[in-house]
Structure 1
Amino acid sequence: IKHAVRQHFGNVDDDLVINYFDKLIQIPIRVPPLSTQEVRAYMMLLFVETADIEDAIKESIREAVCAQLAKSWRGERVDRAFMQTVYKDAPAEIIARFDTADRLAPLMVSASQIAGNPRLVKRFLNALSIRMAISRAHDVGVDEAVLAKMLLFERCGNPKVYDALTAAVNNDPDGKPVFLAEWEQKAAANEELELDQLWDDPFIREWLAITPQLADIDLRGVLYVSREHAPLITPEDRLSSEGAELLTAILKIPDMAASLHDRLAALPRPETTVIMDRVLEQARREQEWGTPAILDACIAVAKADPSLGTRVAGFLSERPAGQIKPGIVPKISDQPWAAGVLDRWKDTDVSDPVKKAIGTVEKG
């Protein structure tokens, strides 16, 4: 109506439009935005509505929630604990959803893209329900609370930041956004946060404080059911079926990698590079470098593609001196890339037995 008045009277200013309304409307009633309390109650009632329970029970729950909301000005809350007193026989699945509503309601109000709008809240929960159905249909073990937290970021966060988060998950060998660990811990403890420039946003600060914490959770299943916006891209996606089969075999039984030399050597160079990427990712988990099985895999891939030998050499040169054990010296000494590694170790604080083993090899 404001727009029509402006157009009719030639784009007049807001004050004149409001004056026009004042002549027509004698008793103005403004509908206030929903509070966190009301959004939480609405979400919980939506969960009840979609649950497989009797209509009579649903109606009794609705009446109890409405009565409790009427007393919210006195500090009475509609939360998970209240819902369990109303619905004493609630199954564990429903209680978990009440927990989800408890955690998400504050951000449903503060996030500008939702701002407590009931229609948008319902759309969010519908999207969550659909993705959970997809996860069950594909036998993907997705925790609803984790999926809800990621979906909230996808819908309300900066798209560039969401892309950075999914890229971190895709690039981690275990699909975990480990870089979030310190931020999430400080947010949960209400400590001061120093975020990177891209991440420094009020929404993200609130989002980090929501449980569960994601840093130690494999999110590949979540991305799998969220592929409309976040494709699941792993290094294996760039491999042929032969390359993917070899990579699986090497990571599963790394000390048998030498027996796969001919097949590895026949792969295109880009594929052996991807395989070396994954082998070195797994190698970084080793804390002692004598003759771990993953070392056999590193040597085998470098033999199949000699151009990758420098990567193995660089990787071993960067290992802490205290991790190097004498057994590794004869293991790698006959490799064309090993001379530089042995020279570097002689100049570091490796143990005397390691230096003695190097001296023995050089004399030989």
Structure 2
Amino acid sequence: MWADDASKIDMLAYRPYADLITEIAISERMNPLTIGLFGNWGSGKSTLLNLIEEQTNIYTDKKIAVIKVNAWMFEGYEDAKTALMEAILQGMKENKTFFEGSKDGIKSLMERVNWMAVGKTALKQGIPLAISGITGLPPLIMMPNSSEFDTPEEVQKQIDKVQNFKQEYMKTNSKENVVENIRGFREGFSTLIEKSSVDNLIILIDDLDRCNPDRIIETLEAIKLFLSVPRTTFIIAMDESIISYSIKRKYPQLNDEGINVSDDYIEKIVQLPIKIAELAESDVKNYMLLLIAEMFLEEESLNQLIEKLKTKGIFIKGEIISGTEILDIVQKDITVNGLKYKGGTTQEEFEQQIQIFNSIGSIVASSLKGNPRQTKRFLNTFYIRKRLAEIQQIEFNLAILAKLMVLEYFDSDRDLFKELFQWQFEHSGKPIQLSTLEKRILDESGDGEPINIEDISKNPAWTSDKMKRWFGTEPRLADVDLSPYFYLARDSVAEKRLFSTNLNQEERKYINQICNLETHIALRRKKIEQMLEMDEVTRNEIFKGVLEKYHQDNTQLETLIEFYKLLPQYKSKVFEEFKKLKVKDITLTEILLFQQLDEESFQILKKYYVEEKKADIKLWDLAGV
């Protein structure tokens, strides 16, 4: 399993980016500088920040201090500006290497930050009613204990004390002093860095795009107004679309179409934008195979594998790593230096799973939209299901589990996946529809029969190019019992419209026989009539199953007509289903089926659709000719 956070191992080949960004960040000619790492959610921005932090350690000839800040931690603060400033000062205070002699300067700046903070909730936490009207205190002022209000003199003493705090605070934070506060902090911060032994202070800011829009703007403004001074470099990881939305929300677009408010704002804050490109399909497949390797190999062995691949130029050339190539490197090159597998794993398991994901890797990659985090989540789901099967001693094939998960993932609405679930449910785990599609698409029948998807499903996506690739990926699924795999994936197919899972195999077969429109009508009617001999619970479950099939396939209207005629106890429910059809879906075929009802029921339906639903009366009259 993989944690859904930044990796410390460079499996995305981001090291060159980290080298370049670090080189720029410590350049005296470039700072003060703000670098923006722009990338979509899950694109690896946090991993790149980790690599940059690690890369600063190789510059032994320079004194570089790195402070890492998670902007999302400011979400609960009333003022993100002062929260960021305080977090950076606290990070400097904890850095004994470069700021040991700067304690007084850090303390002085922290006091200034405290005075600048607006304490809207301070008085609500323990101040008596006598002074509750005194508002606007900085949040870090310690409130008196209730024991300090025992006498009138002590009460007056505390009121005077708070009044003095308020007067000093208002004096410091008056509108006339806003510019002075900014200038004073910038000068103090710049002096603090100048007097320290540091050559460059690098502040890494992560998860800014997870904050609400107001916090995002406040953080960016704090960097621009207070903190961007000589010897400082800010590196901010963010999703540009989220930042743009936040800016536009606070500063609405001007009428002048030539001005883009968000772009102009970002350009004023960020001097060097670096965009992390979406991973290509080959990159995602490579990343997936390396994640598998990470699960089995100790860190030292994994790093040797990655370095060997880099030496071969795999990443630079954009080539796809083959499972065979990974296994070859592991067995020949790393073994010499002491190959180490993680505890509880074996070489046999490693080789098996590398080959599985080597087989399906390309088609998985095409469905994950170049996103490393999605890749981790796919693999985590795979291994959760694998472990669930092992715990319950379910016999299954890892390759089949992986192939079905590919369908589940690239079918964004899961329509095909749910339809396949329905098919296997109706045929005791072995869907004949899937076998037919597989044979026709792969032309295994040899008769050159063209694919007519309408004979099997109403969804044309089954014959898309992506699905043809899926069908062509090993293993083949014809005649395979898929029920255990869908049992493991039942969270993905949970939907009221799907078949009731309370039905046993015999009841499912019974429903299929009733709903098989190719069966002679006399046999179908006999099956429906036999339901009268069943106990009420079983009969009701079968009726629900038939309704569910009708909701998925309106050609089952013919079956409901028979239920209406043969099972009186369901007449009212079935009649309500007749009234739910959309007018546009009612053709002459449906009206002719309705004519099989008794005359009174037909006329009620006709009146309902013509008068209430405004259907074309001519079509209904035509059926009576």
TM-score greater than 0.5 by the shorter chain: yes
2:468 is the counterpart of 1:214: no
| Structure 2 residue 330 is matched with structure 1 residue 87 | yes
Whole-Å Cα distance in 1 between the matches of residues 393 and 288 of structure 2?
Answer: 26
Q: Which runs of 5+ in 2 are unaligned?
A: 1-242, 336-345, 508-532, 543-565, 567-625
Residue 3 of structure 1 deviates from its aligned partner by: 1.4
> Of Structure 1 and Structure 2, which has the larger fraction of its residues in strand?
2
* Partner Cα distance (2:440, 2:311) in 1: 38
Higher relative contact order (CA 8 A, sep 6+): 2
Match of 1:171 in 2: 426
Give the residue type in structure 2 aligned to 1:78: I
Segment of structure 1 superposing worse, 10-19 or 155-164:
10-19
What are structure 1's unaligned runs of at least 5 residues?
245-265, 276-306, 308-364
- Go from structure 1 to structure 2 and tell me whether the alpha carbon gap of 1:15 and 1:155 turns closer, same or farther (over 3 Å shift): farther
Give the conservation status (yes or no) of the 8 Å contact 1:188–1:208: yes
Of 1, 6, 28, 2:273 maps to: 28
Which residue identity does 2:378 align to in structure 1? F
Letter in 1 for 2:489: S
The residue that corresponds to 1:256 in the other structure is: none
1:8 aligned to 218, 227, 250, which one?
250
AA in 1 matched with 2:459: L
Q: Classify 1:11/1:43 alpha carbon distance in 2 versus 1 (closer, same or farther; 3 Å).
A: same
Q: Deviations over 1:289-331 (max 9, x none)?
A: xxxxxxxxxxxxxxxxxx9xxxxxxxxxxxxxxxxxxxxxxxx
Q: Report if aligned partners of 1:128, 1:151 keep a CA contact under 8 Å in 2.
A: yes
Label 1:189 to 1:267 Cα distance change in 2 as closer, same or farther (>3 A).
closer
Tell me whether 1:198 sits opposite 2:459 in the alignment: yes
* Deviation digits for residues 152-177 of structure 1 (CA, Å, limit 9, x no counterpart): 2223313332221101111113x122
C-alpha change, 1:143 and 1:8, in structure 2 (3 Å) is same
- 1:79, 1:62 → 2: CA distance? 13
Q: Distance in 1 between matches of 2:481 and 2:271?
A: 59
The residue type paired with residue 238 of structure 1 is: L
Contact 1:109 1:115 in 2 (8 A): yes
Q: Partner residue of 2:263?
A: 18
Q: Is the 2:408–2:417 contact (alpha carbons within 8 Å) kept by the matching residues of 1?
A: yes
1:131 corresponds to which of 374, 385, 388: 385
Give the AA of the match of 1:129: Y
Match of 2:355 among 99, 111, 133: 99
Residues 239 and 147 of structure 1: CA distance in aligned 2, closer, same or farther (over 3 Å): closer
Cα offset, 1:268, TM superposition: 3.8
Describe the superposition over 1:130-182 as per-residue Cα deviations: whole angstroms up to 9, x where unpaired: 10001111111111111112122223313332221101111113x12232234
**Counterpart of 1:63?**
307
| Structure 2 counterpart SS, 1:10 | coil
Are 2:435 and 1:181 aligned? yes
Q: Tell me the residue number matched to 1:147.
A: 401
Check conservation: 1:176, 1:216, Cα contact below 8 A: yes
- TM-score scaled by length of structure 2: 0.35
Shift of residue 45 of structure 1? 1.6
Q: 2:286 aligns with which of 25, 32, 41?
A: 41
1:228: Cα distance to partner?
Answer: 1.9
Cα distance in 2 for partners of 1:234, 1:164 equals 11
Q: CA deviation at 1:271?
A: 6.0
What is the DSSP-based 3-state SS (H/G/I as helix, E as strand, rest coil) of the residue aligned with 2:288?
Answer: helix
SS state at 2:474 partner: coil
Q: Is the 8 A contact 2:408 2:414 kept in 1?
A: yes
Judged with a 3 Å threshold, the aligned counterparts in structure 2 of structure 1 residues 179 and 7 are, in CA distance, closer, same or farther, namely same
TM-score of the two chains, using structure 1 as the length reference: 0.57
Report the structure number with the largest CA radius of gyration: 2
Structure in which a larger fraction of residues adopt helix? 1
Q: Percent identity?
A: 21
Alpha-carbon separation, structure 2, partners of 1:46 and 1:130 = 15
Structure 2 vs 1, CA of residues 144 and 131 (structure 1 numbering), >3 Å: closer, same or farther? same
Q: Tell me the distance in 2 between the aligned counterparts of 1:64 and 1:204.
A: 35
Cα separation, 2, equivalents of 1:60 and 1:73: 17
Matched, 1:226 2:470: no
